[in-house]
Amino acid sequence: MRVVFILTKSPQNSGNTKICLKNALLARSQGYDIGIYLLGDAVFFAKNQQNIANDLKKLLASGCKLFVRKEDLVARGLKEDSLIPDVSVPSDFYDLLITDIMEKSERVICL
Amino acid sequence: MSTTKTLTIYLLTGPYTSQCTDIALDIAEKALNKGYKANLFLYMDAVHVPKKGQKTLRFPKVEERLRKLISIGLRVKACVRCASARGYVEGEQDKETGTFPTTQYVNGASITSIYDFSDWIKESDKVITLGE
Amino acid sequence: MVNSILIMITKAPYGRENVYGGLYTAIACLERKLSVTVVLVNDGVYSAMKGQASYKTLGYPNIEDLFYALFPPAKIFVDQSSMDERGIQKEDLIEIVEVIDEEELLNRIREHGEAIITY
């Protein structure tokens, strides 16, 4: 089963961070296919060298895909080279998101 | 024969206070442009989104964007309990349409009961929630 | 098309409108014959505390009563780790809730989350 998370809130300020990370890791360990979309303030999740970076790296290493919205990075002055390696910054984030939720995923969790 | 898939966006946050409102409209626009049907159900402070007469100098104009999206097929409904609490409901429910009257909303946005949201959920292929 | 809805409540009761939103939506969905599962996580676990008297002191409708209006047929689950973080025991909560761990939460999402709405 494919599960997609859509995150819009910053990681340190949001209790939902824990829900996402725990559930995504557990789901991956049980063979779920996981995609995580970061937009709005949630693009800060993808920044390297913060205390949740290791959890994000674990998720990536387990096969989850992380997608970050470029326009939100640029707005916030976050350079792509400051992000955790292997996150994707697609050229058309919303196109990818819509295709994923409408055609591929079976569960969508917005946090 | 394939039927067009439907996305329902459930918005909980008002215009300008959160980027989530703009994100909801971005997603609605992309879904419509890709040929999907799109619904926007407004709850809590999101019932302010269709209010007429919004004036901003520096921020993207939510009212204008909403009008454009309605013109290309976005269906917009606001919860009557939330809208009434915030002063938008101006009379009794229209028995035929099920909507509640307001002169304060852009054309194409209506005030209805939460049961309409449940009906939209049932008809949809996917539902997403945005807002605080 | 969607037949089941999972309502995830993450905010505390009364400080914000969110918990009301979740529970009123749950009631409407039950009315429309959707299968409804409510899951309380993070601060949402506070909303299932027993002995609430909001009408008396705030003039707000009582959320405890809304849970009883939902159950049955809706099922109400509370996340164990959220309870632990907040020092909440099962006996602090209304009796109609079931405490679950993260694996069971994932099962609920898989089985009942054709639409997942977060408050």
Instruction: List the CATH number of the domain containing B65.
Output: 3.40.1260.10
Helix C18-31 and helix B114-123, axial crossing angle in degrees, nearest 10: 60
Q: In whole angstroms, what is the distance from residue C108 CA to residue C97 CA?
A: 14
Under DSSP, the state recorded for A49 is: S
Give domain status of residue B1, yes or no: no
Instruction: Tell me the mean pLDDT in the region A74-96.
Output: 96
Total domains, chain B: 1
pLDDT at A22 over 90: no
Inter-chain CB proximity B30 and A94 less than 8 Å? yes
Domain formed by C4-118, architecture = 3-Layer(aba) Sandwich (3.40)
Q: What's the pTM? A: 0.96
Q: Does the CB of B24 have a partner CB in chain A at under 8 Å?
A: no
Give domain status of residue B29, yes or no: yes
Q: In whole angstroms, what is the distance from residue B17 CA to residue A93 CA?
A: 23
Chain A residue with the nearest C-alpha to that of B19: A40
Range of the domain at B122: 6-130
For chain C, the domains span: 4-118
Question: How near does any CA of chain B get to the CA of A9, in Å?
Answer: 9
pLDDT at residue A49, rounded to an integer:
82
Please write the tens of the pLDDT for every residue from B7-66.
999 999 999 999 999 999 999 999 999 999 999 999 999 999 999 999 999 999 999 999
Does ipTM top 0.90? yes
Chain A residue with the nearest C-alpha to that of C116: A109
- We report the CATH number of the domain holding residue A22 as 3.40.1260.10
How many Cβ atoms are within 10 Å of C106's Cβ, its own excluded? 22
pLDDT at B93 over 70: yes
Total domains, chain A: 1
